[in-house]
């Protein structure tokens, strides 16, 4: 098999021209924004040294926002077919008639901030053959299965790679394109010991296949699968929990959601009245910064086409800013922080794009060695059902490894961790020096959080 699955795409300027044509039809009393995207991806899933599925996918999407007399209408479609695009624009215009006017409605306007350009394209993705992809997936599965006698199968092992391009044109004078490639690998090994089964996982993602680290993925996934074998339940009580870089970012993403200018304006954020106050441990520095070129998730523009910029959220525990898109900024009498998050198929809303937790001075080992009794958490479950971003109530399922007298001890599972997000922020007693960029693009470091309610046996 030698077909080249991801055919070389045309230049993103092709999209720009189509978007400009649509926007050019805007009449004097309306604002029109068109976002177009297209891409291709190829995924291989292997199981038991055989190819389970081989998927080639092309995609095309369009989203059209129209504002007339302060009324907002939106429509989207899953094609770039010109007749359907014209119908989508008509639908967006028609939808305007039914929304209620809001003087704050409006598209983003160019604000003079220069975009930071990142190297987000790797031609290596376009050169991958079907055999390259299959070999990479088979190699990862073999690595995962060959490293521990208790691991004899993986639920699935996946190699996926592709490219995407987008163009955004707004009648307010915005005109931007972005293009990126990606490659990712993941595996979910199954470990068995006696009657017990555990499943692990790990993933790596990069701009090109050459930057993936299959040995690390295999090792991490197998470690996760085997580490919890023999897990019991912890005793119920209040104790410190140690979160690794990934879980720290997971937790702080929930907090960042509460700092959305929209949640603040609509009275849904417990932090609404706290700007400038200390809301977290002084050890905590957190920013939202898509301009970090060293991150695999760096980007140049937000979802409304404004240049991304660094936004400090917490500095030594002090709440520095909320995150705004154009609408929420106008409502608050502020400028957009270029924090519009959207899919092509939906309207933008403000949110974090690339969180960065500044590392602390202490090595992870040193932090752990100071814990008399606690839990090094391995995973959370039920984040969507047990965390309320309005009240701040936090209660999640978890598993992990007990820390006793500073050392990792027995694995534990079927436990819950509970507190409030407000309190968790204040109880951060250490931030590790083990900073790392995660596959999703955010950068995190370990955190030790005290006084968490643990429910177990």
Task: Write out the binding residues for another protein, residues 135-174 only, by CB under 8 A.
Answer: 153, 155-156
344 within 8 A of 64, measured Cβ to Cβ = no
- Is residue 73 a contact residue for another protein (CB under 8 A)? yes
- Binding to another protein (CB under 8 A) within 284-323 occurs at none
Question: Which is nearer to another protein, 99 or 115 (by Cβ)?
Answer: 99
User: Do β-strands 428-431 and 436-437 pair in parallel, antiparallel, or remain unpaired?
Assistant: unpaired
Q: Which of 57, 86, 215, 316 binds another protein (CB under 8 A)?
A: 57
From first CA to last CA, the distance across the chain in angstroms is 55
Taking CB under 8 A as the binding criterion, the range among 10-18, 137-145, 279-287, 447-455 that sits at the site for another protein is 447-455
Shortest distance, CB of residue 234 to another protein, whole angstroms?
Answer: 11
The answer to the question of residue 93 lying near another protein (CB under 8 A) is no
Q: Which of 179, 254, 341, 418 binds another protein (CB under 8 A)?
A: 418
Task: Name 361's Cβ contacts closer than 8 Å, sequence gap at least 6.
Answer: 433
Of the residues 265, 279, 367, 431, which one makes contact with another protein according to CB under 8 A: 265
Q: DSSP string of 213-266?
A: -HHHHHHHHHHHHHHTTT-B-PPSEEEEEEE-HHHHHHHHHHHHHTTBHHHHHT
Going by C-alpha positions, the residue among 329, 320, 255 that lies closest to residue 310 is: 320
Task: Give dist(CA 338, CA 178) in Å, integer.
Answer: 16
Tell me the closest approach of the beta carbon of residue 54 to another protein, in angstroms: 3
> Which residue from 13, 94, 365, 410 is in contact with another protein, where contact means CB under 8 A?
94
Under the criterion CB under 8 A, does residue 388 sit at the interface with another protein?
yes
CB of 399 to another protein, least distance (A): 8
Sole binder of another protein in the list 31, 147, 278, 416 (CB under 8 A): 416
Q: How far is the CB of 46 from another protein (least distance, A)?
A: 10
For the CB of residue 101, give the shortest distance to another protein in the complex, in Å.
8
* CA 193/CA 200 separation, integer angstroms: 14
Query: Are β-strands 237-243 and 373-381 bridged in parallel, bridged antiparallel, or unpaired?
Result: parallel
Minimum distance from residue 35 beta carbon to another protein (Å): 14
Q: Distance between CA 448 and CA 454 in Å, rounded?
A: 15
Q: Does 393 bind another protein (CB under 8 A)?
A: yes
Name the residue nearer to another protein (CB basis): 188 or 300.
188
Residue 260 interacts with another protein (CB under 8 A): yes or no: no
The maximal CA–CA distance of the chain, rounded, in angstroms, is 73
Asked if residue 82 binds another protein (CB under 8 A), the reply is: no
86 binds another protein (CB under 8 A): no
Least spacing, CB of residue 87 vs another protein, in Å = 7
Instruction: Please enumerate, as own/partner, the contacts of 382-389 that have beta carbons within 8 Å and a separation of 24 or more.
Output: 383/250, 383/254, 386/416, 387/254, 387/421, 389/254, 389/257, 389/258, 389/263, 389/268, 389/269, 389/421
Q: Closer CB to another protein, residue 62 or residue 356?
A: 62
Interface with another protein (CB under 8 A), residue from 37, 415, 421, 431: 415
Q: Examine residue 187 and tell whether it contacts another protein (CB under 8 A).
A: no
Distance CA 451, CA 449 (A): 7
């Amino acid at each position: 098999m030698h077909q080249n699955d991801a055919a070389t795409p045309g230049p993103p300027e092709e999209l720009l021209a189509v978007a400009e044509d649509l926007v050019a039809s805007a009449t004097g009393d309306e604002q029109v924004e068109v976002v177009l995207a297209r891409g291709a991806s190829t995924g291989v899933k292997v199981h038991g040294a055989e190819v389970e599925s081989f998927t080639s996918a092309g995609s095309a999407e369009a989203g059209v926002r129209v504002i007339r007399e302060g009324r907002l209408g939106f429509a989207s479609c899953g094609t770039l077919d010109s007749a359907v695009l014209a119908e989508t624009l008509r639908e967006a215009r028609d939808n305007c008639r039914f929304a209620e006017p809001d003087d704050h409605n409006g598209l983003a306007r160019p604000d003079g901030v220069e975009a930071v350009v990142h190297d987000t394209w790797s031609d290596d993705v376009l050169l991958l053959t079907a055999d390259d992809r299959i070999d990479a997936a088979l190699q990862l599965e073999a690595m995962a299965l060959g490293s521990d006698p208790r691991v004899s199968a993986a639920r699935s092992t996946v190699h996926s790679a592709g490219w995407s391009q987008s163009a955004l044109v707004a009648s307010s004078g915005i005109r931007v394109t972005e293009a990126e490639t990606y490659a990712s690998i993941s595996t979910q090994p199954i470990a068995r010991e006696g009657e017990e089964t555990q499943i692990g996982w790990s993933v790596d993602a990069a701009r090109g296949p050459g930057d993936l680290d299959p040995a690390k993925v295999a090792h991490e996934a197998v470690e996760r699968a085997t580490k919890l074998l023999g897990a019991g339940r912890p005793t119920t009580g209040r104790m410190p929990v140690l979160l690794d870089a990934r879980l720290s970012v997971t937790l702080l993403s929930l907090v960042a959601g509460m700092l959305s200018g929209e949640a603040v304006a609509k009275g849904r954020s417990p932090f609404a009245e706290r700007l400038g106050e200390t809301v977290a441990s002084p050890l905590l520095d957190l920013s939202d910064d898509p301009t970090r070129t060293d991150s695999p998730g760096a980007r140049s523009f937000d979802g409304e086409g404004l240049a991304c910029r660094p936004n400090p959220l917490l500095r030594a525990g002090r709440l520095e800013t909320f995150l705004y898109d154009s609408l929420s900024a106008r409502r608050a009498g502020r400028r957009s922080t270029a924090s519009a998050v959207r899919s092509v198929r939906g309207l933008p809303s403000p949110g974090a794009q690339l969180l960065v937790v500044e590392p602390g001075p202490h090595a992870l080992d040193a932090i752990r060695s100071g814990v008399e009794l606690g839990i090094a958490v391995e995973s959370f479950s039920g984040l969507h059902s047990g965390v309320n971003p309005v009240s701040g109530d936090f209660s999640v399922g978890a598993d992990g490894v007990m820390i006793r007298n500073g050392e990792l001890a027995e694995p534990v599972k079927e436990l819950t961790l509970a507190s409030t997000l407000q309190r968790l922020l204040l109880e951060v007693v250490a931030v590790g020096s083990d900073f790392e960029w995660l596959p999703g693009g955010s950068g995190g470091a370990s955190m030790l959080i005290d006084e968490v309610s643990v429910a177990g046996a």
